[in-house]
Amino acid sequence: MSVLSVRIDKELEEKLKFLMEKQKIVDKSAYIRKLLDKSIKEELLDFLSKEIESKNLSIWKAAELAKMSLRGIMYELAKRDVKTYDELALQEDLTFVRKEG
């Protein structure tokens, strides 16, 4: 584990103190690591969602990068209202079905 030193403003410190007191948390470092991990995961998912939406990244690759299952990344995409099945894909599927049928 590496060491990271950061400065936080008074308002953020007050929010942190409030949350720790209300939740009876005593290990400030562990709590901040938990919050940082959660925030980075969300930021990564937001970034990957935008990359998928702009067709720069596949869902499979995004799942791999996020260390999630395909089902998990698809759930996250749905939460963010990212369309993964567009009109072109539908047309291709319909054309394929018509040829096979």
Domain segments of the chain: what residues? 10-100
Of residues 10 and 1, the one with the higher pLDDT is 10
Whole-model pTM: value is 0.78
Question: Nearest CA to 73 among 93, 44, 33?
Answer: 44
Average pLDDT over residues 91-97: 79
Per-residue pLDDT of 61-70, as tens digits, reads 999 999 999 9
Exposed, middle or buried, 28 (CB in 10 Å: 0-12/13-18/19+)?
exposed
Q: Does residue 87 carry a pLDDT above 90?
A: no
